[in-house]
Structure 1
């Protein structure tokens, strides 16, 4: 009887840990909540993130030069089962349809999303430097050549 109880307790513990792992896949995204900026001579890049619930984060990314918005993107990170998707929608690109990037790697310092079918970007990396500093790295193929851009962002 004691052995059966111990086995049952062990199985319940293992199963509850697996459920916690599934629920925690977006925990690293908590660090993104807020407004991030990269100001340069080329313009001002802004990314804003908020948490909708435990499985969905929404955001916007835009690039402004002088008073002109040169790029505007709605973004979302969402967990569906065991999978985390980074969803990007840029008006005027991809027939106005969202592009999905799958979370392929995560740790305390970064989130890595990939969509190998897309030319550019194929990969999006959020690399945390400090609590108010991160680097966003996008890479892929542009005009037939490998291309990579990095944006150092400060939390506002």
Structure 2
């Protein structure tokens, strides 16, 4: 009887330890780390991602045409408990406060972040095509109409 009790106690201890472990979602999107670029007639888009620590990746997004920066955004991917948050801040928008998007779905090569309260974007998707190629899609409502933009990017660093 003591042997069965000891085995049950050991099994419960192992199961409770497993239950307390959290999944590190950032490790699953580490393919994003680096410098990504999209060159087009409209301008040059650069996204630079780096790992700050085990729970935060930081990014910057620049949209440059000629010598003018048309768009500058700071981004963080933050692991909070078992959730992943995409936090974006654009100078001059939303009172310079960060806008948060929650991870709503993922596969090995695709992460979808959404904020249904925001008009545009409501959804941000990163999809890895190859180890040095990804597609970023932003979508939502602009001027009362559904709208989306797709950016194909190549890894340059």
Report the equivalent of 1:6: 7
* 1:114 Cα offset (Å): 0.5
Given the superposition, is the C-alpha separation of residues 117 and 66 from structure 1 closer, same or farther in structure 2, using an over 3 Å criterion?
A: same
Unaligned segments of structure 1, at least 5 residues: none
What is the 5 A alignment of 1:5-154?
5-20=6-21, 22-154=22-154
What is the rounded CA distance, in whole Å, between the counterparts of 2:30 and 2:16 in structure 1?
A: 25
4+ residue runs over 2 A deviation: 1-20
Q: TM-score, normalised by structure 1?
A: 0.92
> Is the radius of gyration larger for structure 1 or structure 2?
2
Unaligned segments of structure 2, at least 5 residues: none
Q: What secondary structure, in the 3-state scheme, does the structure 1 residue paired with 2:25 have?
A: coil
CA contact (8 A) 1:28 1:111 kept: no
Q: TM-score, normalised by structure 2?
A: 0.92
* 1:19 Cα offset (Å): 4.1
What is the rounded CA distance, in whole Å, between the counterparts of 2:154 and 2:16 in structure 1?
A: 39
* 1:107 Cα offset (Å): 1.8
- Between the two proteins, the alignment pairs up a number of residues equal to 155
Q: What secondary structure, in the 3-state scheme, does the structure 2 residue paired with 1:47 have?
A: strand
Alpha-carbon RMSD: 1.4
